[in-house]
Chain A
């Protein structure tokens, strides 16, 4: 059976009570990490819905934590009001400094959270539902060989009942899938490689580096694939995800950052010959009263090392001085 057939799931295949039983049986703990930056409009609902269903009614989650990048709005206050643990990212591992970016929050969550499994769910999902968590945890509890579960979503605008294309967003289809098809064809089986929701075992998370900004998802996939192979992955259809679409120029900056990460990876894996020093400036254009103006965006990829190399983490987790 192909990986696509054996490791692709639908959230409807998982029963919460059964997952709760399997979790108890496996003796694992599960943490939910919600990285935030100015999400006061959506964070309250996310916490209420997920806490009610997955901590109170079912004991699937052991902690719900918000790792905040320094919101200017009431994100942290709202999250606390509804019972989440809230941690400003800058206050976690202060000796390692602070970078602003989603990847930074995800990386610091490995240190701050206690779960054997960490589920990452973005706060900007407007139709949040418990399936966004249990659909990702399901394969990990059912398949010991799986370590990293990605979400994918249906994205219909209209349906005719006929066969229709399925896949990711614009950056995925125009950039990532062609690149994966060229260099890592097996990874093309991931339907939405850039989706922001995934559940991962700690022993994998602590051993992979984290770009702090654009590219964290891409680098994860390449690193996990390179080290543990395709069998470590699974993917789950979570049905619809409603969120605010990004403008094309924002996607351009995202693509530029992802491409840098990708090229660094294939360079370090010696898949291609030595790359020249890469430019880190992206030029885009605006039109003002018929006149084109160039805007330059400096996008540099800062990468956090595997958490297991951080002394404070090794102390906290009571790890021996050498890598385990």
Chain B
């Protein structure tokens, strides 16, 4: 077992000595990593707890970003900086003194879906860590922040330059603004991207589905005329829209869905609602299908609006284009092999997260999860500690494969 410091004769040597390099040697040694990584429990959990306790709802991530910037510098990243949209980036220079021909970007989003008013206290138990946002995505962020300490502990040096990025404004209305901004303005050409999510261990995403995410708002005048059509008020009118949206045919191939995610409206049981809103998502493997369904929704809104006189608005606040790399791409192939070496069965699923931004830029990238979690999205959201070491070993295996030139 590796307890501390650099351990000779292990992964570090096999990947750092040219005569024994080879993807299979990486795969063989990755299996030893989870045990060695247990020695990093304190730094991983400390970072997780401290990060997760700082509220970071989308567009209000500044406090968490400032803390992460501090941690990046303390834990060994160089050139730590925060850009104008709140991304925090740090650099781990490759062993070739800046002449490395590969640059790898590790990404985790800083923002969370949890309101700042929620109690963010984290509880650390022997088996799990519990608290709002520990899975989404404080754990991913903690692992990206801890990477220099992990590499140092294992005595690993990479030829490639690794950039760690805590990106802002990823979720919901953030529409991946942070990672898109970084990719648009990155000074270094990027060869690979690796998106790190807290859960679930075993997930593997290498494609993005087409998606639009939007809100339909419906308003009626305060003094509503009971004699008019739609006298039920804003909720009734919105209900009419929902009924018609559910009648839109969605094809099985390409796989397509309309998700009705959230509804708000009204003030009390006895008051006719003057405002109601629906947040929804249309997702499909085909961009043309997404556009067609959006056109259908526009027409429904126009029709209901003209029939009721209600003021109905449609605001699209997030978009993704479908795309990605092939199942047979060397990056996907190597990632699956690394996961299998750790007894993980890859669960393939398209993503709408940071991966989409890499796809738009034509940078090969995958998204993986770190551990298993429970009560996701709730205040008692939890991540299990023991699988984190497997998740982290998987991540290191992928980085080493990228670094070794086995993913091109």
Q: Report A's interface with B, CB cutoff 8 A.
A: 40-42, 44-45, 48-49, 51-53, 56-57, 77-78, 81-83, 126-127, 129, 242
Contact = CB atoms under 8 A, between A and B. Distances in A.
Contacts of A81: 126
If over half of A's interface residues share one DSSP class (helix, strand or loop), that class is named, otherwise mixed; here it is helix
A45 B49 contact: yes
Given A48-B49, A53-B46, A56-B43, A82 B121 contact: no
B121 A48 contact: no
A52 B41 CA distance: 9
A49 B49 contact: yes
Nearest to B53: A127
B96 to A, nearest CB: 28
B50 interface: yes
A126 B52 CA distance: 12
For the complex of A and B, the 7 pairs showing the least CB-CB separation, nearest first, are A52-B46, A44-B124, A52-B42, A81-B126, A45-B124, A126-B121, A48-B45
- Give the most central of A48, A51, A83: most B CB within 10 Å: A48
Interface in B97-143: 121-126
B29 to A, nearest CB: 25
B126 A78 contact: yes
A184 B374 CA distance: 55
Contacts of B46: 48-49, 51-53
A32 to B, nearest CB: 14
- Give the most central of A40, A44, A77, A83: most B CB within 10 Å: A44
B42 A41 contact: no
B123 A42 contact: yes
Contacts of B42: 48, 51-52, 56, 82-83
B50 A44 contact: no
A230 to B, nearest CB: 35
Given A45-B124, A48-B46, A127-B53, 15 more contacts: A40-B125, A41-B123, A42-B123, A44-B124, A45-B123, A48-B42, A48-B49, A49-B46, A52-B42, A52-B43, A53-B46, A57-B74, A77-B126, A78-B125, A126-B121
Contact of B121 (A53, A83, A127): A127
Contacts of A129: 50
Contacts of B47: 52
If over half of B's interface residues share one DSSP class (helix, strand or loop), that class is named, otherwise mixed; here it is helix
A167 to B, nearest CB: 25
Contact of A82 (B74, B122, B126, B149): B126
Nearest to A43: B124
Interface string B21-55: 00000000000000000000111011101100100
A41 B43 CA distance: 19
Given A56-B42, A83-B42, A49 B125 contact: no
6 contacts: A44-B126, A45-B124, A52-B47, A57-B149, A126-B121, A127-B121
A81 B123 CA distance: 14
Contacts of A49: 46, 49-50
A127 B50 CA distance: 8
Contacts of A40: 125
Contacts of A83: 42
Nearest to B47: A52
Interface string B45-78: 1110110010000000000000000000010000
Contacts of A44: 123-126
A57 B123 contact: no
A78 B127 CA distance: 10
B53 A48 contact: no
Nearest to B126: A81
A118 B71 CA distance: 27
A82 B122 CA distance: 15
A189 B122 CA distance: 34
Contacts of B123: 41-42, 44-45
Given A44-B125, A127-B121, A52 B53 contact: no
B52 to A, nearest CB: 10
- Give the most central of A49, A53, A81, A83: most B CB within 10 Å: A49
A51 B53 CA distance: 18
B75 to A, nearest CB: 8
A113 B124 CA distance: 25
A41 B125 CA distance: 8
B124 A82 contact: yes
A57 B43 CA distance: 8
- Give the most central of B47, B124, B125: most A CB within 10 Å: B124
A242 B50 CA distance: 14
A2 to B, nearest CB: 33
A109 B281 CA distance: 59
Contacts of B121: 126-127, 242
Nearest to A17: B74
Nearest to A80: B126
B126 A48 contact: no
B80 to A, nearest CB: 16
A77 to B, nearest CB: 7
A40 B130 CA distance: 13
Contacts of A78: 125-126
A129 B47 CA distance: 11
A82 B385 CA distance: 12
B310 to A, nearest CB: 39
Contacts of A126: 121
Contacts of B43: 52, 56-57
Contacts of A77: 126
Nearest to B54: A127
Nearest to A40: B125
A56 B46 CA distance: 11
A126 B54 CA distance: 12
A39 B41 CA distance: 21
Given A126-B121, A127-B53, A52 B45 contact: yes
